[in-house]
Amino acid sequence: MTDTTETDTRTVGSILSAAREARGFSQKEIADQLYLTPSFIEFIDADEAFKIPKQAFVKGYLRTYAKLVNLNGDLIVEKFNADAEQPAEIEVKAESTDTVAAIYFTGPVFKTGLIGLVTFIFVLLIVWYFSSGDEQDNTIAPVSLVEPQLNQEPQPNKQPQQNEIQTLQLASHQVNAGSEKNASENENSIALEAEGNANEMIETVNSLSSTPVSMEALKAQLLLAQQTSAVNVSLPDEPFSVNRELRDTTQYITVDAGGSDELRFVFSGECWLEIEDAEGTQVYADLGTEGNNLTILGSAPFKILFGNAPAVAMSFNGQAYALKSHISNDRTAKLRVGI
């Protein structure tokens, strides 16, 4: 078996495709031997393995592909991991010396922006009001100062007075403080109560703007305000663990998919094997070779595909399982176990 050296600067895809072409194999022939679709081999040759569904099995595909073209599968996987860990190059562009003229917002642009600001403040006020519950304080007082200003339609090319801007900023600051204080305690009640008063708020906003506000737009604003309170994000754990151990000439492979049922396979020859558990999750997909001993821990019923069933002996929960009646003329077998 040929070893790929660490000094080889080629990518995994170019190494595998070159070895495949040197031995006269087409992508379809490799795919047929692995019981995969040709598109999977095309992705690997093009260094686009990230496009393959169920990424947990990509390394198994690479290892098996390498064996078929007489390469060291472990070294190919190591190089694949090393390439994946290399940081992407960042292109640094020279600093631009072009000058940009000052931008002034006047006329319709200023009018639209001010209307949007007023609408946003109203949404925050509604969220704060319904989330505050029985707690009443004087922090909402600036609202009465804002309303007289909102009833006057802003004129084009006219800048707002300084006291109006300060009033809007104060109201926005106090409303945001109240919203952050009570959001975690009243998250579920906000949406229901706000929807019940949506029509009243729409009439108020529409009276201030020439552009009508729809129910869908109002719900989107309320949803956005709710989502800003979410702070905890967690990544899902790996669905299962795989352990490989070599004892003498036998390789013992154990896949723990989190179930109480046990499948055991002993290989007397090469056979492609795919296994799905009761939830339809593919827990194993790889080429088994002579001497391999595979154990799957998961939840029955299992859906199993054998590429060369006569080369495998199987047991389920400690009891031998006869495959002979399931084997077709092309030596493959498909069955469900533990129904």
* Residue ranges of domains in the chain: 12-85, 107-227, 241-337
Higher pLDDT, 150 or 212: 212
User: pLDDT: is 289 or 85 the higher one?
Assistant: 289
HSE-up (13 A, CA, CB side) for residue 223: 6
Place of tokens 């179930």: 259
Bridge partners, residue 253, by sequence: 244, 294
Cis previous bond, 301, omega within 30: yes
Task: Tell whether domain 12-85 is in CATH 2.60.40.10.
Answer: no
What value does the mean pLDDT of the chain take? 75
pLDDT tens-place string over residues 197-214: 555 655 654 554 555 555
Residue 232 pLDDT grade (very low, low, confident, very high; cuts 50, 70, 90): very low
Report d(CA 155, CA 110) in Å as an integer.
9
State the pLDDT confidence band at 320, using cuts at 50, 70 and 90: very high
pLDDT of residue 1: 61
Residue 262 corresponds to which amino acid?
Answer: E
At 84, is the pLDDT very low, low, confident or very high (cuts 50, 70, 90)? confident
In sign, the C-alpha dihedral spanning 123, 126, 127, 128 is positive
pLDDT (average), residues 202-228: 54
pLDDT tens, position by position, 86-103: 655 555 555 555 555 555
Give pLDDT, residue 20.
95
Mean pLDDT of 52-57: 88
Comparing 195 with 292, the larger pLDDT belongs to 292
DSSP state of 40: H
pLDDT of 273 over the 80 cut:
yes
> Which pLDDT belongs to residue 159?
46
What is the spatial distance between Cα 210 and Cα 182, in angstroms, rounded to a whole number? 33
Burial of 273 from C-beta contacts in 10 A (0-12 / 13-18 / 19+)? buried
Torsion angle (degrees, nearest 10) of CA 195, 197, 202, 204? -160
Cα dihedral 97→100→102→103 (10° resolution): -140
0.75 exceeded by pTM: no
Token pair listed for 298: 């998961």
The alpha carbons of the chain give a radius of gyration, in whole angstroms, of 32
H or E segment to which residue 17 belongs: helix 12-22
Looking at residue 301, its pLDDT comes to: 94
